Amino acid sequence: MATRGWAMNKRVRATTRRIGAVARARKDARDTVREYYDACGRGDLEGSLNCFADDVLIEDMIYQRPFRGKREFGPYLEKVIDALPRDMEFVIDDMTGGQDGAVGLVWHVEIQGKPFPFSRGCSFYRCNQEGKIVYGRDIPEPSSKPGGIALFIIKLVAPIIRSLPPLKYNSEVPKPPEPRKLPETLHVDSNFNPVALGLWSLYAVYFYWLILSPPGQAPGDPVYAIKPESLQEIFAQSLDFFYINIFLNQVGINFVQSPVLEPVGEALFELVAAWSLMFGPLILMDRRGNLPKLPTWIGQMLLTNVFLIPYLATRSLDSSESSKALQNEDQTLGERLATPFGLAGGAVGVISVFWALFARSEFGSITTRFNAFGEIVSRDRLAYAFLVDVVLYVVFQPVLLRPLLKPECEWIGYIPFFGLAAALANPSLRRGMP
């Protein structure tokens, strides 16, 4: 009995030692993270690196790629510590420890006891049995806070992700402490929407070419380097929106004096504006697409294809039948606006043709004024962008208009601008109308 009792007692002590070892490993994980933050705060590079395993994997969400091993993470951490003021302190607000040495925490930064702006963040770390950090992910507070706009961006981007070919890996993303293990093979699913992918590719080219490209690639200056005279030109053209102010000046009403502008460029501006206006009922009556239609149209009125191309790209992913009945407020509003917008847009289009050819006789003959406009396009980004918008509108108009027309009238959808004006102004050309 004594021998049996001694053996049982030995097993109990052994079990107790194993439990204690696990408990100490979990405690070490939390202590290791605290030691790391304390060492960073006092500028101790060696002490900070001593908290990490040689094969550590660190993911900092403000960088494109992770840091693999001390060889990559060490130089980065040295730059961070050198850049931090000596009186800066990392303050751990709360910390939680889980199974297998996992630690999560929220933190902020202070200087002389004062919270530093945009310094909050959260982190996750995993430690091995020796208490060394083998994996970490840091998510610092962003300096820009989009708020509710982020939800709209998510809704806009989600269809893009759906349109891309899904990536499938034979093996899962490795979990620490095996950060060096990479996916063995990559398979791309060929079941994707080429129309959506093509439109998003077009959008990338359009956005870069007209908005971001430096001088020398596209005429004129990009948006981020726009000159005051370009802003003045936009303002001057806006004063004559749809020629209303010009007409008022002609009849003696001079609330605002109409500026004298080059007539072909002025006519092009009004034509694009009228075309964008008529796209409004077209988008509202469209029986496909998941993006909010009214905000999309308002955005198109301001920035044309910056909003229209994403709408068409997301629309191409909607497999709903185009013949389904009108059923929402947007479509009803589109029907109500169609006739007046078609008449107004068509009238502005007719005036624009006359304006480009004959208005402002001081600008010379038709040949002279078009030569002058060509010279403007060669150096002005805004005029160049309007020409590109006209080309894209010619392509996109039948995509949205033909499904709304009666079969025998679908050819009208291919007539640029005036075909749209006629289809909106005359309800008998559209499906479901007497």
What is the rounded distance in angstroms from the CA atom of residue 18 to the CA atom of residue 12?
10
Question: Percent of the chain scored above 70 by pLDDT?
Answer: 79
Q: Rounded mean pLDDT of 242-253?
A: 91
Q: Please, what are the domains in the chain?
A: 29-143 (3.10.450.50), 194-429 (no CATH)
Q: How many CB atoms are located within 10 Å of the residue 124 CB?
A: 17
Sorted by sequence, the CB contacts under 8 Å of residue 149 that are 6+ apart come out as none
Rounded to 5 degrees, what angle do the CA atoms 195, 196, 199 make? 85
Given this model, what pLDDT does residue 368 score? 93
Region 161-165: what's the mean pLDDT?
A: 59
Largest CA distance in the chain: 122
Sequence letter at residue 405: L
Helix (H, G, I), strand (E, B) or coil at 144: coil
pLDDT average, residue stretch 404-433: 91
Compute the average pLDDT of residues 169-179.
43
CA distance 105 to 191: 41
The answer on pLDDT for 66 being more than 70 is yes
Instruction: Pick 90 or 303 by higher pLDDT.
Output: 303
Strands 133-140 and 52-60: parallel
Q: Mean pLDDT over all residues of the chain? A: 82
Instruction: Answer whether residue 401 shows pLDDT above 90.
Output: yes
Residue type, 415: I
Secondary structure of 389-417 as H, E, C letters: HHHHHHHHHHHHHHHHECHHHHHHHHCCC
Q: How far is Cα 203 from Cα 159, in angstroms, rounded to an integer? A: 14
Q: Give the pLDDT confidence score for residue 89 in this predicted structure.
A: 83
> Is 90 exceeded by the pLDDT of residue 231?
no
d(CA 12, CA 283): 76
What is the distance, to the nearest Å, from the Cα of residue 418 to the centroid of all Cα atoms in its chain? 33
Q: What is the pLDDT of residue 166?
A: 57
Q: Is residue 162's pLDDT more than 50?
A: yes
Closest CA to 366 of 377, 355, 351: 355
Nearest CA-CA partner of 317 in 403, 195, 201: 195
**pLDDT (average), residues 58-83:** 86
Answer for the pair 136, 58: CB distance below 8 angstroms, yes or no: yes
Per-residue confidence (pLDDT) for residue 3, from 0 to 100: 44
In this predicted structure, the answer to whether residue 425 has a pLDDT above a threshold of 60 is yes
Nearest one of 53, 48, 54 to 33, comparing CA atoms? 48
Closest listed residue to residue 220, CA positions, set 393, 375, 342, 361: 375
Per-residue pLDDT of 254-291, as tens digits, reads 888 888 899 999 999 999 999 999 999 999 999 887 78
Q: Are 248 and 257 in contact (CB under 8 A)?
A: no
Contact between 279 and 379 under an 8 Å Cβ cutoff? The reply is no
Q: Which of 19-23, 36-40, 139-143, 182-186 has the highest mean pLDDT?
A: 36-40
pLDDT for res 227: 81
Judged against a pLDDT cut of 50, whether residue 235 lies above it is answered with yes
Asked if residue 309 has pLDDT above 50, the reply is yes
Query: Among 75-89, 235-249, 329-343, where is mean pLDDT lowest?
Result: 75-89
Confidence of residue 146 (pLDDT cuts 50, 70, 90): low
Q: Is the pLDDT of residue 169 over 60?
A: no
Query: How high is the pLDDT of residue 153?
Result: 65
Q: What is the DSSP letter of 255?
A: S
Residue 318's pLDDT is what? 74
Tokens of 183: 């996916």
Average pLDDT over residues 215-236: 86
The arithmetic mean of pLDDT across residues 186-212, rounded, is 80
- Per the DSSP assignment, residues forming a β-bridge with 109 are 90
What is residue 49's three-state secondary structure? helix
pLDDT beyond 60 at 406: yes
Specify the pLDDT at position 111: 83
Under 8 Å between Cβ of 91 and 106: no
Does the pLDDT value for residue 177 go beyond 50?
Answer: no
With left for phi above 0 and alpha for psi between -120 and 50, is residue 246 left, alpha or beta? alpha
Determine what percent of the chain is predicted with pLDDT higher than 90. Answer: 40
pLDDT of residue 19: 41
* Amino acid at position 299, single letter: G
What mean pLDDT comes out for the span 38-59? 88
Q: 11 pLDDT exceeds 60? A: no
109: enclosing H helix or E strand: strand 102-111
